[in-house]
Chains A and B, each alone.
Chain A
């Protein structure tokens, strides 16, 4: 059962032909070439595929593509504007909040969903928000430093 649909990704409307069993993660990567979103475990265990759908962090590997129709999807590719990195990406670079980098797009998207809702999270809230994102390199300390740095900057600029 193949059908054609429109998806709103990073502010752009994209036309794509999909199958009944297609998931958002595979459509993003294989059909739209947005390979920033990673496939790790493919069953909701690692968080590498996290994207933001209507303001909420979701696993794109568990989201049937039909559920993304009519929603506003943000992937890691949608963060940089006019060639400039987003403040969270800047902070991750500044604090070296990654090593191999495979989990990083998912972690940045989960962090963004947190910071958009709660610009000044406690460490407990950061741990809670990232509990669905596995990173086997960093031990998370640098990641939390980067998020706290973004929070500090956002709050001091107000």
Chain B
């Protein structure tokens, strides 16, 4: 049984032409970059309305610029290449390399792109919490101009983002972060290559006395969009990251809202979340102190 048969396949060479195609086709048009999410959904019959495929691989969006203002990554940059990039081996950005290495298998990492990992907006993906922990934002371009959207406000629901009709996500912006910042990402899944049951990304910035001045903690796999653990973040401000603060922080996860799924109940996920948060914070703290 073949559920999916697109009628047209376009590969425009400039962004305006792609915007135009998407505007004309509306719900019947869909963007692909690497194609891994797209064809999985298509083959499973989840996007039967799609008749026109608009590939954005010829828009020259495969780049990484790392300068004083921060890091800018083009939307069609390939995940496997990014995970080996020098920028993401630095302690403050290492959660990105951690997260990409958890995206399996290699056949997917070889073609999947950073833009796709964001726009799919499946709340089980690994890259969104890592990018959120870095306060990233995205640039989307449409025929009326471009918008910069903080990633924090980008995810609206399952498979739903703040991209309007005709718009294309072109770039991911990651700000420069202060000295003594460390980040990490930890995932736990049903099997080695499956989506996560729960994953977590964290960022810690220390002052000279190794007290936290800034903390971010984002989970995926628990809700309809990535979940920011504000209360736990606050509990670390002005304090060191040690056994007592971590135990206190992870304890508050016992009341975290989580969704049940066929692979894990909410209660199970809360328990897993405690384990991976401990590991994640310990790793991020050690990177922030330069250990």
Contacts and interface: CB of A to CB of B under 8 A. Distances in A.
B35 A128 contact: no
Contact of A1 (B7, B11, B32): B7
Interface stretch (A7-15, A61-69, A77-85, A141-149): A61-69
A66 B58 CA distance: 12
Contacts of A113: 106
Contact of B9 (A20, A57, A62, A110): A20
A132 B106 contact: yes
Nearest to A50: B107
Contact of A21 (B4, B36, B57): B4
Interface stretch (B38-46, B127-135, B137-145, B240-248): B38-46
B9 A132 contact: no
A131 B43 contact: no
Contacts of B7: 1, 20-21
Interface in B68-124: 104-108, 110-111
A111 B32 CA distance: 28
B111 A62 contact: yes
B169 interface: no
B107 A21 contact: no
A132 B55 contact: no
Interface in A104-118: 110, 113
B53 interface: yes
A56 interface: yes
A7 B160 CA distance: 36
Contacts of A67: 35, 55, 57, 111
Given A21-B5, A64-B55, A67-B57, A133 B36 contact: no
A101 B260 CA distance: 37
B5 A44 contact: no
Contacts of B36: 44, 59, 62
Contact of A132 (B43, B44, B53, B108): B108
B111 A58 contact: yes
A20 B193 contact: no
Contacts of B111: 56, 58, 62-63, 67
A47 B53 CA distance: 24
A118 to B, nearest CB: 11
A47 B8 CA distance: 27
A43 interface: yes
B108 A59 contact: yes
Given A43-B40, A131-B192, A57 B55 contact: no
Given A23-B39, A63-B111, A131 B6 contact: no
A58 B79 CA distance: 13
Nearest to B44: A43
Given A62-B36, A66-B11, A67-B35, A20 B53 contact: yes
Interface in B1-43: 4-9, 11, 32, 35-36, 39-40, 43
Contact of B40 (A20, A44, A50): A44
A3 to B, nearest CB: 9
A61 B9 contact: no
Contact of B53 (A56, A59, A64): A64
Given A43-B44, A62-B35, A63-B35, A132 B107 contact: yes
A42 B6 CA distance: 16
Given A64-B39, A67-B57, 7 more contacts: A20-B9, A21-B4, A43-B44, A67-B111, A110-B106, A131-B105, A133-B105
17 contacts: A1-B7, A1-B9, A20-B9, A21-B9, A57-B107, A57-B110, A59-B36, A59-B108, A61-B43, A62-B35, A62-B39, A62-B111, A64-B32, A66-B9, A67-B111, A110-B106, A128-B104
Interface of A: 1, 19-21, 23, 42-44, 47, 50, 56-59, 61-64, 66-67, 110, 113, 127-129, 131-133
Closest 9 CB pairs of A and B: A132-B105, A20-B9, A43-B43, A21-B6, A62-B39, A56-B110, A43-B40, A131-B193, A131-B105
